[in-house]
Amino acid sequence: SLSDRLGGVFDRLRGRGALTEADVRAAMREVRVALLEADVALPVARDFVDQVTEKAIGHNVLRSVTPGQQVVKIVSDALTEMLGSDQSDLLLDVTPPAVVMMVGLQGSGKTTTAAKIAKRLKEKDRKKVLMASLDVNRPAAQEQLATLGTQTEVATLPIVAGQRPVEIASRAMQAAKLQGYDVLILDTAGRLHVDQALMDEMKAIADVSNPAEILLIVDSLTGQDAVNVAQSFSDQVPLTGVVLTRLDGDARGGAALSMRAVTGKPIKFAGTGEKLDALEAFHPQRIAGRILGMGDVVSLVEKAAESIQAEDAERMAAKLAKGQFDMNDLRGQLAQMRRMGGLGALAGMIPGMKKAQAAMASGAVDEKILVHMDAMIGSMTVKERAKPALINAKRKIRIAKGSGTTVQEVNKLLKMHLEMSNAMKKIRKMGGLKGLLGMMG
């Protein structure tokens, strides 16, 4: 699995520091291989890896997980985000009949999915649904839909021999209007490969039926070609969503990422079997896991992150209760700021830190200042850190020398610490521990 492979990459990485650029690049080569093995289209995999590399560099590794696992989590989060939300509702809020048009290659699962969606709309949403097959190419295609209609107890448009797809679509519209159907599902013909005749037919059908939803049905086993299929349909038909079928099989689900990247449309459903209730909402996180082949690493890392945050908060709370906020705590907050590129849990409430953060965000202060502060604290003795009041002029000179900074900078740091601990005391007086923790959470 990817996490095993990343384990190899990170074997030499000792300790639990931030992920370096070299480490991340090495890891991302493995991620790229994993994506390609999961049938993510090459250009999509490349773009994705470039984006995530930026995000991962400098990320801190949690104490209770390995760097490999941490990278898997970062990649999985990015992947989940790219795959979109699990909002899978069809948008059918139009003057009835709302038309849902199914498009895709032959054998992708259009007819089956049409029946699955019809069943779902009927049972879950109490909609009155009519289905019509516009597939005049494949022998018995219209009968196939009629049979599925009988099985699901959903009405199908009576078959009239010799009509062209656009004529059938018009007749279906007419029938749906006259008979008061809420939804009309148009099942179209596919081809083995994308061709212009197919696209022209799809455009003509869309013109006469003005669909509320045009769903591209894609077999998740399609592999590298999925991206071309999606591109052709997306260029020529105004798609509103994607349905990924055969996710019950061996497919690693890479097609999902390609679909999202190329069409920019949500994946509304996942087909998970031949049975007519085997239609599920699309779960980005599950597919991300499947693409990366990583089991439950993600939840492991999430748990680790949670427990560490809780640990930090508890430790901090105990200190505050005693009215303590020493240099070690300040150092922790600075590290958090660097790591997250934002305020630490506590720092957000401190006036001085807020200013520092704003300056950082505006580019007026760069990360170097945080690095300097960290170095100064590093040059303090254990006693000085615990009790900064000990730091007199002589000690300031020593700390400045030890950290390659100036006495002025040491003074600034001490002032900042003083402001922060004063603010802590104020918070304690105002709301006490509970109030503070409330704000933190």
CB atoms within 10 A of CB 322: 8
Stretch that binds ligand GDP, among 155-163, 231-239, 245-253, 394-402 (CB under 6 A): 245-253
Of 8, 17, 107, 264, the residue at the interface with ligand GDP (CB under 6 A) is 107
Shortest distance in whole angstroms from residue 197 CB to ligand GDP: 17
Q: How would you label 417-426 residue by residue, b for 16+ Cβ within 10 Å and e otherwise?
A: beebbebbee
| Nearest by Cα to 34 from 343, 288, 375 | 288
CB of 156 to Mg ion, least distance (A): 13
Tokens matching residue 153: 């107890």
Window of 40-48, 244-252, 284-292, 299-307 that interacts with ligand GDP by CB under 6 A: 244-252
272 labeled part of a ligand binding site: no
Among ligand GDP, Mg ion, none, partner that 293 touches (CB below 5 to 8 angstroms by kind): none
Residue 127 touches which of ligand GDP, Mg ion, none (CB < 5 to 8 A by kind)? none
Taking Cα atoms as reference points, which of 343, 415, 402 lies closest to residue 374?
Answer: 402
The answer to whether 108 contacts ligand GDP (rule: CB under 6 A) is: yes
- Which residues are paired to 280 by β-bridges? 270
Residue 105's Cα: distance from chain center in Å? 28
Contact at 8 Å (CB) between 169 and 186? yes
Nearest CB to Mg ion, comparing residues 110 and 372: 110
**Which of ligand GDP, Mg ion, none sits in contact with 108, Cβ below 5 to 8 A by type?**
ligand GDP
Q: Of 109 and 266, which CB lies nearer to ligand GDP in the complex structure?
A: 109
Containing H/E element for 100? strand 98-103
* Among 92, 142, 87, CA closest to 122: 92
String of contacts with ligand GDP for each residue 165-194, x by CB under 6 A: -------------------------x----
Has 341 been labeled as part of a binding site? Answer: no
**Pair of tokens at residue 310:** 């809780």
The residue of the chain with the least Cβ separation from Mg ion equals: 111
For the chain, first and last CA: distance in Å? 36
Which two three-digit tokens encode residue 408? 């002025």
Choosing among Mg ion, ligand GDP, none, which partner's interface includes residue 109 (Cβ < 5 to 8 Å by kind)?
A: ligand GDP
Based on the shown chain and the rule CB under 6 A, indicate whether residue 248 belongs to the binding site for ligand GDP.
yes
From candidates 246, 260, 338, 385, binder to ligand GDP by CB under 6 A: 246
Q: Hey, which residues between 223 and 242 contact ligand GDP (CB under 6 A)?
A: none
Query: Is residue 226 packed enough to be buried (19+ CB in 10 Å), middle (13-18) or exposed (0-12)?
Result: buried
Identify what 272 binds: Mg ion, ligand GDP, none; CB under 5 to 8 Å per kind: ligand GDP
Q: State both tokens at 240.
A: 């509103």
Dihedral angle over CA of 169, 171, 174, 180, nearest 10:
-80
Partner from Mg ion, ligand GDP, none binding residue 104, C-beta < 5-8 Å depending on class: ligand GDP
The site for Mg ion (CB under 5 A) is made up of 110-111
Binding partner selected for residue 248 from ligand GDP, Mg ion, none, CB under the kind-specific 5 to 8 Å limit = ligand GDP
By C-alpha distance, which of 265, 278, 267, 218 is closest to 238? 265
Residue 112 binds which of ligand GDP, Mg ion, none (CB < 5-8 A, kind-dependent):
ligand GDP
User: Is 273 an interacting residue with respect to ligand GDP (CB under 6 A)?
Assistant: yes
Q: What is the DSSP string of 226-254?
A: HHHHHHHHHHHS---EEEEE-TTSS--SH
Q: Is 222 in the site for ligand GDP (CB under 6 A)?
A: no
* Amino acid symbol at 114: A
C-alpha 147/C-alpha 280 separation (Å) is 22
366 annotated to bind ligand: no
107: left (phi over 0), alpha (psi -120 to 50) or beta: left
Among the candidate windows 32-40, 246-254, 288-296, 319-327, which touches ligand GDP by CB under 6 A? 246-254
- 247 in a labelled binding site: yes
The footprint of ligand GDP (CB under 6 A) covers 104, 106-112, 190, 217, 245-246, 248-249, 271-274, 278
Annotated binding residues: 104-111, 187-191, 245-248
Binding residues for GTP: 104-111, 187-191, 245-248
